[in-house]
Chain A
Amino acid sequence: MVEYTPTEMMTVSAARALKNDDVCFVGIGMPSAACNLARLTHAPDITLIYESGTIGTKPDVLPLSIGDGELCETALNTVPVPEMFRYWLQGGKISVGFLGAAQLDKFGNINTTVIGDYDNPKVRLPGGGGAPEIATSCGEVFLVMKQSKRGFVEKIDFVTSLGHGKGGDDRASYGVDTKGPSRLITDLCIMEPHPVGKQFVVTSIHPGVTREEIIENTGWTVEFADKVAETAIPTEKELQVLRELHARTAKAHAGQQ
């Protein structure tokens, strides 16, 4: 029996969402682990792009920051940041944007700016960085985030990056013609937008997780698809590659002083 943590299940499921021919704009943190796991398993030719300008990067350890030397040294090419955002992202050359969030609503709108009021915040978060335009310029967007009532809310405090807006075809009303969030991978399940309403619907549940757990950890009324799949458990190979990647990363980041 293969043993794994809910976080490992999430990272593995997120990695599986990527294809070998994807060109993927990688957010830092959880997306970075998932994207590199995909590259080291089923998608060896995937092009990973980080906003620091590195194109086709193949890091041996996960970067602590989005511009670590590892990313540049293993990249096909490194371009200036204005070129990255203007030609490659805005120019429509990137098939998938992989993002995380602090707060998320059922339409995949993302908050990474503030908790509370903008001018008088309870918690000041780092801000949007590249996300507002990654969310609208990439062909589609995958989201990865641990599920909790605090994070998965009915109404986010600030719309840092557009998902499906108010649902339905609202996204298009902002002049955005890309697909938007098409998959949300959590530590409990996988959700996909309803084809018409665009609200997230649970389409696959990770093994051992109950519907009640998903409902308890979600701030909106959870919808389940008519046919809900059970997510395939991580393979030994996936877990081995992921654990080795994390071990190399921990060693590399602790080794300097």
Chain B
Amino acid sequence: MVARFMSLKEAVASCVKDGDTISMEGFTHLIPHAAGHEIIRQGIKDLTLIRMTPDMIYDQLIGAGCAKKLVFSWGGNPGVGSLHRLREAVQEHWPHKLEIEEHSHAAMANAYDAGAAGLPCAVFKGYRGAELPRVNPNIKFIKCPFTGESLAAVPSIRPDVTVVHAQKANKKGDVLFEGIVGVQKEAVLAAKKSIVTVEEIVDDFGDISSNAVMLPNWAVTAIVEIPGGAHPSYAQGYYKRDNAFYKAWDPIARDREAFLAWIEEHVMNGGPEDFAAKREANKG
């Protein structure tokens, strides 16, 4: 089945349901913030959130009460400090208890790769001498059947739904990613369903490298055009990372009331159309 063009509301309503395992990826770049807001607006609950770097996007989902569990490898606001909503969920169980499953980046990158490859687990040289295997039962060690070398194994990541942001889709629904491409392709291919939000839909991609990172339309479930939809992260070629907003997030997230007021104003009373102005403001 080929990808369908949808509104964000329709895409989230048709692909994401309570209790799902969801991966929203983007390594600093192309983080699908507009889609995160839509999940909060639709009041989706009990999600298992997977993401290598659960920065502001998951701080918002966790604080808004959408998450039951977080699977991650680095949880902070890069260069700024802690994720206060994540920290409060872990330390004080607000708005409710949050289960965590913690890995290293290498483990999660390998687990996405294994998920995309249809494997049940990922095997790699990792966690040697590290303590995470003591607290995370999903980290085991196996012996190479050929050499006897001890190798780390983690379950592959196979989300119910993956949500990513990309620069472009063409009219047929093929998707083009450029710049820091992170684990987006692997995360989409590992998932049962996928939503890709894009900066723009174009007639054709023009003169691009034959090695460009692409997802053909039959590998994606839903495509939504949202100019600026990655703000305050960035979309290379369209707008820069709004580092000032990442810094401004710290005092907002630090205080429950300030956080709830921000969610009310910008998420509950906002919509995907608000992101275009952010794109303009951060062209730089």
Q: Measuring CB to CB, which residues of chain A are less than 8 angstroms from any residue of chain B?
A: 28-29, 51-54, 63-69, 71-73, 78, 80-82, 84-86, 89-90, 109, 113, 118-119, 121, 124-133, 136-137, 158-162, 165, 171, 174-176, 252-257
Pick the contact of A82: B110, B241, B281 (CB < 8 A). Answer: B110
Inter-chain CA distance A89–B105, complex, in Å, is 12
Note all chain B residues with C-beta closer than 8 A to A73: 236
Note all chain B residues with C-beta closer than 8 A to A255: 244, 284
Inter-chain CA distance A240–B182, complex, in Å, is 35
Q: Once the chains bind, are B126 and A132 in contact (CB under 8 Å)?
A: yes
Q: Once the chains bind, are A67 and B28 in contact (CB under 8 Å)?
A: yes
Assuming the contacts A126-B75, A175-B128, asked whether A64 and B80 have C-beta atoms less than 8 A apart, the reply is yes
Q: Once the chains bind, are A28 and B79 in contact (CB under 8 Å)?
A: yes
Q: Once the chains bind, are B28 and A254 in contact (CB under 8 Å)?
A: no
Q: Once the chains bind, are B180 and A136 in contact (CB under 8 Å)?
A: no
Assuming the contacts A86-B109, A133-B106, A136-B129, asked whether A254 and B179 have C-beta atoms less than 8 A apart, the reply is no
Note all chain A residues with C-beta closer than 8 A to B185: 80
Q: Which of B147-192 contact A (CB under 8 A)?
A: 149-150, 179-183, 185-186
Q: Once the chains bind, are A86 and B105 in contact (CB under 8 Å)?
A: no
Inter-chain CA distance A213–B79, complex, in Å, is 29
Note all chain B residues with C-beta closer than 8 A to A85: 105-106, 109-110, 124
Chain B: interface residue count, which band?
A: 35 or more
Q: Once the chains bind, are A127 and B106 in contact (CB under 8 Å)?
A: no
Pick the contact of B180: A72, A165, A257 (CB < 8 A). Answer: A72
Inter-chain CA distance A118–B78, complex, in Å, is 22
Assuming the contacts A68-B241, A159-B130, asked whether A137 and B125 have C-beta atoms less than 8 A apart, the reply is yes
Q: Once the chains bind, are B241 and A160 in contact (CB under 8 Å)?
A: no
Q: Is the interface of A mostly helix, strand, loop or mixed?
A: loop
Note all chain A residues with C-beta closer than 8 A to B52: 81
Note all chain B residues with C-beta closer than 8 A to A69: 29, 179-180, 234, 236, 240-241
Q: Once the chains bind, are A53 and B182 in contact (CB under 8 Å)?
A: yes
Pick the contact of B104: A53, A84, A119, A131 (CB < 8 A). Answer: A131
Q: List 9 A-B contacts (CB under 8 A).
A: A80-B182, A89-B106, A124-B75, A133-B125, A136-B126, A137-B125, A162-B130, A176-B129, A256-B241
Q: Once the chains bind, are B124 and A64 in contact (CB under 8 Å)?
A: no
Q: Once the chains bind, are A127 and B102 in contact (CB under 8 Å)?
A: yes
Q: What 5 A-B pairs have minimum CB-CB distances, sorted nearest first?
A: A67-B28, A162-B129, A126-B76, A65-B78, A129-B74
Inter-chain CA distance A129–B246, complex, in Å, is 19
Q: Once the chains bind, are B28 and A80 in contact (CB under 8 Å)?
A: no
Q: Once the chains bind, are B130 and A256 in contact (CB under 8 Å)?
A: no
**Distance between B232 CB and nearest chain A CB, rounded to angstroms:** 9
Is residue B213 contacting chain A, with contact meaning CB distance below 8 A? yes
Note all chain B residues with C-beta closer than 8 A to A127: 72-76, 102
Note all chain B residues with C-beta closer than 8 A to A121: 90-91
Render B39-53 as a binary contact track against A, CB cut-off 8 A, 1 for contact.
000000000000011
Q: Once the chains bind, are A53 and B27 in contact (CB under 8 Å)?
A: yes
